[in-house]
Structure 1
Amino acid sequence: MNNFATIEDVINLFRKLDSEEIERATALLPIVCDSLRVEAKKVGKDLDKLAEDSAFANVVKSVVVDIISRTLLTSTNNEPMIQTSESALGYSFSGTFLNPGGGLFIKNSELSRLGLKKQRYGVINFYE
């Protein structure tokens, strides 16, 4: 099984990486690809077979690069905040963390792009 993207794809689609980021991205590539394969198996799909279509392969590549770039942006020294708010005399501070739990995560929107998450519909008959 091959990876759906390469380090060159990450550099071309995200940004130039330093040597430490290249090491992290190289380690993340197989993990992200296998994570997506597992998510596909949960809904009864074979991601490798679907990726034989070149258009779908590009979408998978884009999702892999998005996940890796988000993980690379997550600080390893301290918690990165994506939104902060401060007050002066009320001594108030609040913020929202990029990835509060740390580690790798795949957004539902990324799974939807791959066709692995769809809206469900149904009816519950309360009155039989």
Structure 2
Amino acid sequence: MADFATINELITLWRPLQQDEETRAEALLTVVSDRLRLEAENVGKDIDEMIADSVAYKSVVKSVTVDIVARTLMTSTNQEPMKQYSESALGYSVSGTFLTPGGGLFIKRDELKALGLRKQRYGVIDFYGTN
């Protein structure tokens, strides 16, 4: 199966890549595409079939794939991946927010929602039971 985006599309939609980033991005595009396929399977959908049915949906899948790969590439591999950091002096205060708290690849809820892959839950609690 093909990836949902190519290196050239990643460069066009995000930014030019350095040589080491290009190798990593090539692998990430495959991993992210497969991960999105699995997420679709988990909610009973075939993402490749949905792409074949709609050009607009194909564009959204490409955009989400590029966003996930770009976010993963921005995550530092040689230091703590902080997106916000602050320090104080005599009060001895340090605080920061991690880009990916658990590390690794993650897909945001909003991205799954944009792809129509958020599983809606429903249910009823019967307080009184049945006789």
TM-score by length of 2: 0.92
SS in 2 for 1:95: strand
CA RMSD of aligned residues (A): 1.2
The CA deviation at 1:124 is: 1.7
Aligned to 1:22: 22
Do the aligned partners of 2:81 and 2:99 also contact (CA within 8 Å) in 1? yes
Identity of aligned residues (%): 63
Do the aligned partners of 2:43 and 2:119 also contact (CA within 8 Å) in 1? no
Within 5 Å, give how 1:38-117 maps onto structure 2.
38-52=38-52, 53-117=54-118
SS in 1 for 2:97: strand
Which 5+ residue runs of structure 2 have no aligned equivalent?
A: none
Do the aligned partners of 1:40 and 1:47 also contact (CA within 8 Å) in 2? yes
Distance 1:83 1:124 in 2: 42
Aligned AA for 2:35? S
Residue by residue over 1:39-74, the C-alpha shift from the partner in whole angstroms, topping out at 9 and shown as x without a partner, is 000000000000111100000000000000000000
Aligned AA for 1:126? F
Superposed structure 1 runs of 4+ greater than 6 Å apart:
none
Aligned to 1:2: 2
Aligned AA for 2:75? T
Change (3 A) 1:87 1:127: farther
Aligned AA for 2:76? S
Distance 1:123 1:4 in 2: 38
Kindly tell me the number of residue pairs found equivalent between the two proteins: 128
Which 5+ residue runs of structure 1 have no aligned equivalent?
A: none
TM-score by length of 1: 0.94
Aligned to 1:31: 31
